[in-house]
Amino acid sequence: MITLTFGEIAAAVSGRFEAAGTDASEFTPVSGYVETDSREIEPGGIFVAKPGDVTDGHRFVGPAVDNGAALAIVEHTVDVAVAQIVVPDAVIALGALAAEVVRRVKAAGDLTVIGITGSNGKTTTKNLLGAILSPDAETVMPRNSFNNTVGAPTTMLRVTEGTRYLISEMGASGPGHIARLAALARPKIGIELKVGMAHAGGFGGIEQTAAAKTELVAALPADGVAILNRDDPRVVAMADKTPARVVWFGEHDESDIRASDIVVTATGTHFTVITPDGDSIPVSFKVLGEHHVWNALAALAAARELGVPMDVAVRRLESVSRAERWRMEVMGGRDGVTIINDAYNASPDSMSAALKTLALVTERGQRTVAVLGAMSELGEFSGEEHDRIGLLAVRLGIDQLVVVGPEARRLHISAINEGSWAGESVYVETADDAYEYLEQQLRAGDTVLVKSSNSVGLRFLGDRLGELFS
């Protein structure tokens, strides 16, 4: 974070400074990282005592100080010897501090903020764009998938006076969430990837999801750029909702940054990118899955707007070996067994894309095995969406389906109803049960997809299988 005094922070968050038994004053400077997890605090850091669903951050002010916290932002005074700023709401204060820091860095330097949203692909696109931009200038982007009202401001607070690019993932589980994040970061470039059924339970349906995702481009300035997916009709409709200039990406002929000749293999995805300048550049993209081509195009479009030559951007894109930990991560290899661990998250769209990729990359004569857990946060749409995935697995000809956990059992039943009567679909209660089954059943040459929402924890099953066949 940039250097601010305790008094400046108190003013930014509308809080009250208290020395709390220390010799600190309102003129004491601080520049450490801001964290809401006491275990992540480093010397000189700022700890935000956020109340949680399970526990209260105020209980961890002491451990944060033990780790070196110089300041705590709290909702009530804590009996710990550390300078404190007392605020009515710690999460709102975190956002207010982030907004002030970003405002100051913009005013003093050359900071450009890029906002990314979409039902799928935000983290992958963030990583791809970061790989393209970071060799040229200081680039700040989220760790993991820090994209909510806590994670996004925490990322914003990592900017310094020398930061040139801030890439901000903007996730949401309900209306207004993205608008609030956009108001904090004030992005100049906004990327809209896709509108799908992820978090549909919180929004109330896909049209409500589309309206919420539109909040990003609606917040862009008139001299900004909205980078939109020309292949998604709901994203196309956003062009009329933004004051910014529109740049299209996709496979559609009207795309400004267009992909053609897409070929998906077990070693990656190959395509040609076509630019408005008439260039056609072949891309050997190591990230597995045709659905990641959209993410690559979005990153290339943003990079072009920021002045990176397309051939340079493509070369840096090709250096990325995986989207992210547990996202289409290729593991294994012994006896020709390939494990695709894609169990960091799951929505109907990403589940469908992963199954299609499994079918595409497996060579003739080899078995396809899909180990699937539940897709969370679908609300009233959960049953029908799990049904749809079960039907898709059968229609794609997946040789063996292993369904894990009671929340996903309907997927197994749908597969049976569609024709998987002879053991092609197996249901097990736990990830341990699945491991024991697969340990005995997998054979040389199998390609195995492990896919579920993060809360189900199948990513760890994927790791175990990858280690088993390493």
Looking at 109-244, list the stretches that DSSP marks H as alpha helix, in order from N- to C-terminal side: 122-133, 151-156, 177-185, 200-203, 206-218, 233-236
Residues of the chain with CATH 3.40.1190.10: 109-318
List binding-site positions for ATP. Answer: 118-124
φ/ψ region of 336 (left if φ > 0, alpha if ψ in -120 to 50, else beta) reads left
- The pair of structure tokens assigned to 169 is 């993932």
The predicted structure's pLDDT at residue 77? 96
User: Residue 200: pLDDT band by 50, 70, 90 thresholds?
Assistant: low
Q: Is the pLDDT of residue 197 over 80?
A: no
CB 456 within 8 A of CB 373: yes
Q: Is the pLDDT of residue 137 over 90?
A: yes
Overall fold of domain 109-318: UDP-N-acetylmuramoyl-L-alanine:D-glutamate ligase (3.40.1190)
The predicted structure's pLDDT at residue 255? 97
Q: What is the pLDDT of residues 35-84, one digit of tens each?
A: 999 999 999 999 999 988 788 999 999 999 999 999 999 999 999 999 99
The predicted structure's pLDDT at residue 198? 60
- The pair of structure tokens assigned to 126 is 């963030």
Q: Is the pLDDT of residue 143 over 90?
A: no
165-169 β-sheet, strand order = 139-140, 165-169, 112-117, 189-192, 225-229, 245-250, 257-265, 268-274, 280-285
Residues of the chain with CATH 3.40.1390.10: 4-88
The predicted structure's pLDDT at residue 163? 97
User: Residue 202: pLDDT band by 50, 70, 90 thresholds?
Assistant: low
Instruction: Specify the CATH class of 329-468 in words.
Output: alpha beta
For 4-88, CATH gives 3.40.1390.10
Closest by CA position to 157, among listed 76, 6, 45:
45
Residues of the chain with CATH 3.90.190.20: 329-468
What value does the mean pLDDT take over residues 207-213?
A: 89
List binding-site positions. Answer: 118-124
Q: Is the pLDDT of residue 315 over 70?
A: yes
Closest by CA position to 178, among listed 238, 115, 86, 109:
115
**% pLDDT > 70, the chain:** 97
The predicted structure's pLDDT at residue 244? 98
Compute the CA torsion angle 348, 155, 241, 310 (nearest 10 deg). Answer: -90
CB 386 within 8 A of CB 375: yes
The predicted structure's pLDDT at residue 324? 73
- The pair of structure tokens assigned to 58 is 């105020």
Closest by CA position to 227, among listed 388, 343, 117, 153:
117
